[in-house]
Amino acid sequence: MAVDPETRTYAADAEPGREATLAGWVHEIRDLGGIAFLILRDTTGKIQVKFEKDELDDELVETALNIHRESVVSVAGAVEAEDRAPTGVEVVPNAFEVISPADPELPLDPSGKVEAELPTRLDNRTLDLRKPEVEAIFEIRAEVLRAVREQFRELGCTEINTPKIVATGTEGGTELFPITYFGQEAFMNQSPQLFKQLMIGSGLERVFEVGPIFRAEEHNTPRHLNEATSIDLEAAFFDAGDAMDAAEAIVTGAYEAVARNCRSQLEALGLAEFSVPDGDFPRLTYEEAIERVNATGELAEPLVWGDDLSTEAERALGGAVGEHYFVTEWPSEIKPFYIRDLADDPDVSTGFDLMHPSLELASGGQREHRHDRLVVGFEQQGLDPAAFEYYTKMFRYGMPPHAGWGLGADRLVMTMLGLENVREAVLFPRDRQRLSP
């Protein structure tokens, strides 16, 4: 009984009065003596298969009831209405085939009756994803990325793909992963920053990318990954305010799409009361932000101008603001060389961060597009402008002013669903301890 994807019936589509061939995993077998029930699970849900032993072929009954749960099987038979069945229908089989048997001992219980710790779940991600509340996270993640792409289209952006093997780093503060590139030193890219900016001088003008970024973060925290997915925007003639407007549209659009199209997944996660942010996020200057943090009295040491926001500071501020917000006008000295300073104050930058009350989601700003200033910025940050010649030279051939941001997709999903650890939003996370699977 080969399973034909064209004619196969899914559990959710089985209608009484029809003959159907179904395929999936054995979720559960309940043998009550004269009668037994097998619950078959596929990507759409579950369906009951009834074995009235006296009425069925002995060999069929024997095959079906002696396999272990989580085996992959196919069943052909009549679909009948049955009020007592969990979904109101059941299948009376006339053929049964074991397609791929499962071992009796499983490293993880996909029914969720026995809970597993996150490392065990990640070691056995395939089985972990058989749980509806885990599958739901990744269906929602896919919807977030679909919605993000749709929003970018509305903004007139073109999707690009930039190299992940590069010659130089761009983001100070986090280390690079070195690799050997035909005997030459190279690195895994920390951000598409320079490449997306190079596109601003091209005819594309507004670009976006969804792709991996690599950060050799030493610390192991619930919010840091060594390989993350970044959603990046860069747009010609945008200033920081325009870039923040775009971030609001993208984030709110993702929430709206999930609220509209992922009802059953939200229910599986216990999030039936899912609320969509209003899309008008407060914009606090850095100066206002540190004042508000200090006013909470939650920090042992008050913040002073020039300090970065620590995790504790972010928490205190998030608690005080209580919704998504931006921190704008950061001190220039703690923002990267490519961020432009305010026209009237070189100590203050156009850089901004987009914050969820619990953590940072994105950072961005208007860029320095004036060639001479850009080169000075490199030197001030201790970088050799010669190593970045491929980038800086394009600022000599007509580069419009521009702005953009990078938004962590993993953190967006994590905060949207209230997950405690960003690893839960990543299929196969990379961290200090984890290089496989």
Q: Residues interacting with ligand AMO, by CB under 6 A?
A: 171, 191, 193, 215, 217, 224-225, 228, 230, 232, 360-365, 404-406, 408, 410-411, 422
In this structure, the number of other CB atoms found within 10 A of the CB of residue 54 comes to: 8
User: Which helix (H) or strand (E) is 135 found in, with range?
Assistant: helix 132-154
What would the two tokens of residue 420 be? 């405690």
What would the two tokens of residue 339 be? 């961020």
Closest residue (Cβ) to ligand AMO? 408
Residue tagged active-site, from 121, 215, 315, 402: 215
Which 8-state DSSP code applies to residue 236? E
d(Cα 86, Cα 159) in Å, to the nearest integer? 45
Smaller CB distance to ligand AMO: residue 21 or 415? 415
State the burial class of residue 276 (Cβ atoms within 10 Å of its Cβ: 0-12, 13-18, 19+).
middle
Nearest distance in Å: CB 202, ligand AMO: 17
Q: Which residue has the tokens 């035909």?
A: 182
Residue tagged active-site, from 121, 369, 402, 411: 411
Smaller CB distance to ligand AMO: residue 49 or 247? 247
Nearest distance in Å: CB 430, ligand AMO: 10
Q: Which of 282, 256, 253 is CA-nearest to residue 352?
A: 282
Residue tagged active-site, from 133, 139, 217, 227: 217
396 is catalytic: no
Whether the CB-CB separation of 262 and 272 falls below 8 Å is answered with no
Nearest distance in Å: CB 181, ligand AMO: 22
Whether the CB-CB separation of 217 and 429 falls below 8 Å is answered with no
Residue tagged active-site, from 27, 69, 121, 223: 223
Smaller CB distance to ligand AMO: residue 62 or 218? 218
Nearest distance in Å: CB 389, ligand AMO: 20
Residue tagged active-site, from 130, 363, 368, 369: 363
Residue tagged active-site, from 27, 130, 141, 224: 224
Smaller CB distance to ligand AMO: residue 39 or 355? 355
d(Cα 35, Cα 32) in Å, to the nearest integer? 5
Crossing angle of helices 240-261 and 409-417, in 10° steps, is 50
223 is catalytic: yes
360 is catalytic: yes
Nearest distance in Å: CB 249, ligand AMO: 16
291 is catalytic: no
358 is catalytic: no
Whether the CB-CB separation of 410 and 360 falls below 8 Å is answered with no
Query: Which residue intervals of 35-129 are DSSP H helices?
Result: 58-65, 118-123, 125-128
- For residue 437, whether the previous peptide bond is cis, meaning omega lies within 30 degrees of 0, is yes
Smaller CB distance to ligand AMO: residue 42 or 368? 368
Nearest distance in Å: CB 171, ligand AMO: 5
Smaller CB distance to ligand AMO: residue 96 or 338? 338
Q: What are the residue numbers of the active site? A: 215, 217, 223-224, 360, 363, 411
